[in-house]
Amino acid sequence: MTGRRSIERRIAAGLIAHAAKRLPDDRSVWATAMANEFEHLPDDQSALGWSIGCLFSSYRERIRVMNNQSPLSGWILGLEMLICFVPMTLFGLAVIPALATGSMPIADAMIFCLVAAIGPMGLIVAFRTLVLRRPTSSKLILAAICFFALLPILAFESQQTSAAMGDSWREFLLLAVLPAAGWAHLVYISRCSAQGLTAS
Amino acid sequence: MVRQRSFSRQTVAVLGVLLHQPRKWRYGYDLSRETGLKSGTLYPILMRLSDRSLLESKWEESPSSGRPPRHMYRLTNAGKAAAREIAAAHSESRHLKEPLGSRA
């Protein structure tokens, strides 16, 4: 390569060097492979795109290794899922004594259970994803459960006036926002697993 | 038997390209162009395939002075077998999806 490098190429060279450093040590061969391939790219635009892609893949690889290696991360994820889904599960289970004593009409109970369904569903999917290492890859199932994750938020907003919302922000957080956030994180984990190779 | 669902669509594309000329060594950039995948998608796939002993690699010294060696890739025997299984499964499912009237 002769002559001065263009600005694009120099930026790309900086990015690829950073990407190579960010890869875990056991991927050092791949770090060298990416960096060396960069030197053979025909034009500056390809080089910049190549280096940006390598940067993404090196961070992704680093995060993957961290998640696999850290014994704490599984526990923290588990705790997160419990915090997100157990309150809603308990909220749904409160229907049972209400039905038994006749203090809640069946139609109301069914709506109540529908809204609270995200609690036990989230716990089941979290167990499959984190403990059994079998993340859900079906887009249909993920979309359906996204719908259930949004139901509490919609139900809460339809029941509350704007004035009352300020007083019940704790319930909103615990019973609507947390399940939705927990579900979003599970979808992210499932998609990450699905986009790479999954273990047979 | 290799489960097709264990491979992503992008991985299947890489396997397909490598299977097309299984003895030929390929550079990363060539694979990127042939599959249409960016480096950010391609390299994790190559890493996983290599981890699973489906891909072998070697270094080739660059003929141009001043340029570093390049990493080259091709399928191992196990990789070829896996790729053929997936290719067979693909053509079978495509065949099943075709309307009856379009079959020769």
Mark yes or no for CB contact B46/A30 under 8 Å. yes
Angle CA B85–B87–B92, to nearest 5: 95
State residue B100's pLDDT score.
46
Higher pLDDT pick, B94 / A116: A116
Q: What is the pTM of this model?
A: 0.55
3-state SS, residue B63:
coil
Higher pLDDT pick, A188 / B75: B75
pLDDT band at A67 (very low <50, low <70, confident <90, very high): low
pLDDT band at B92 (very low <50, low <70, confident <90, very high): low
Measured CA to CA, the distance from residue B45 to residue A152 in angstroms comes to: 39
For A148, half-sphere exposure in the C-beta direction (CA atoms, 13 angstrom radius) is 24
What is the interface pTM, i.e. ipTM, of the complex? Answer: 0.81
Residue ranges of chain B whose CB lies within 8 Å of a chain A CB? 2-3, 5-8, 10-11, 27-29, 32, 38-49, 52, 57, 62, 66-71
Chain B CB within 8 Å of residue A49 CB? yes
What value does the mean pLDDT take over residues A120-148? 79
pLDDT tens digits, one per residue of A125-136: 888 877 766 777
